[in-house]
Amino acid sequence: MKAPDRATPTGHELLVGELTAALSSSTADPEHGALPAALAAQIAAAGERLLRADASLATARRRPPDASWRLWSGWLAAAAVLGLWVGTPGRRARETSPPAPLAATPQVPARSAGALRDSLLQNDRALLKLAWTSSTDDVSPMIGGDVVWSAAAQRGVMRVVGLAPNDAKRSQYQLWIFDKARDSRYPVDGGVFDIPAGATEVVIPFAARLPVGEAIMFVLTVEAPGGAVVSGRERVVGVAKS
């Protein structure tokens, strides 16, 4: 039996998708109706921004002929990050994972992540760069590094120094992006990641799950494996704010 590749749906997933679409089209659903117009407009605008950002990244990519950077451009970046995400042993056991590049793991080659960081720094003049402040967490009392965020590309790279290694079966680190225009109770999820034993510094690329208009703060928390939809913020291990 073939091992399912999360980036490429299995025949079973496609079958279920076809049947779901067919059932939906053949089942009257006056209760749920159409996508609300305002929401549809918001989704479309965000999608257009995403495509523009990818196009700008692709353009920027063509300037420096750095082979490693190609891994992180446009749609290829999605596939690459997803592949690493899926490749994490703890993830493989789960039936599904989202198809988008939602998080990175320390297995991301530092050179590639670093190349992305360098490229963002080089090509985005409006790039946001914020330093991590010391945390109030007992396990990781002092962290360093920074986070760079490109609003145009809707992605960023964080460099974290001094964060304690975690046991992914017990807990994972999660990144949160606070958008100025968004209710601070519901920051945007930046994804979960692990710190391997022995690592003193990690460089992690990330992308927002939802469009971020103006990022004003990034927060690292410790959550249950798989992350949280809404963080209880019991353990905040890092804050970077403007």
Partner 1 sequence: MTSNDAHGAVRAHLALVPPDRARVASSAKAVSVTLVPVPLLPRIAAGDESAVRECVARYGALVWSLVRRWVPDGHDAEDAAQEIFVDLWRSAARFDGARATEAGWVAMVARRRLIDRLRRSQRGITYEPLPDDYDVIDEQEPDLDQADRVVRARAAVQALPAAQRTMLELSLLHGHTHEEIAEATGTPLGTVKSHIRRGLQRARATLLQATPRLSEEQDG
Sites of contact with partner 1 (CB under 8 A)? 1-2, 7-27, 29, 31-36, 39-40, 42-44, 46-48, 50-52, 54-55, 58, 75, 78-79, 94-101, 209-211, 226-229
Q: Cα separation of 36 and 44, whole Å?
A: 12
15: helix, strand or coil: helix
Q: Least distance from C-beta 126 to partner 1, angstroms?
A: 21
Residue 56 or 68 having the CB closest to partner 1: 56
Q: Name the strands in the sheet holding 188-193, side by side, starting at the edge strand that comes first in the sequence.
A: 188-193, 172-179, 215-223, 236-241
The structure tokens listed for 145 are: 């590094």
The upper half-sphere exposure of residue 71, i.e. CA atoms within 13 Å in the direction of its Cβ, equals 18
Q: Cα separation of 129 and 45, whole Å?
A: 26
- Residue written as token pair 């704010």: 241
Question: What residues pair up with 218 in beta bridges, in sequence order?
Answer: 177, 240
Q: Least distance from C-beta 230 to partner 1, angstroms?
A: 9
Q: Least distance from C-beta 170 to partner 1, angstroms?
A: 16
Residue 99 or 114 having the CB closest to partner 1: 99
Q: Least distance from C-beta 41 to partner 1, angstroms?
A: 8
Residues 6+ apart with CB under 8 A from 13: 96
Residue 19 or 142 having the CB closest to partner 1: 19
Q: Least distance from C-beta 49 to partner 1, angstroms?
A: 9
Residue 145 or 227 having the CB closest to partner 1: 227
Residue 78 or 121 having the CB closest to partner 1: 78
Residues 6+ apart with CB under 8 A from 47: none
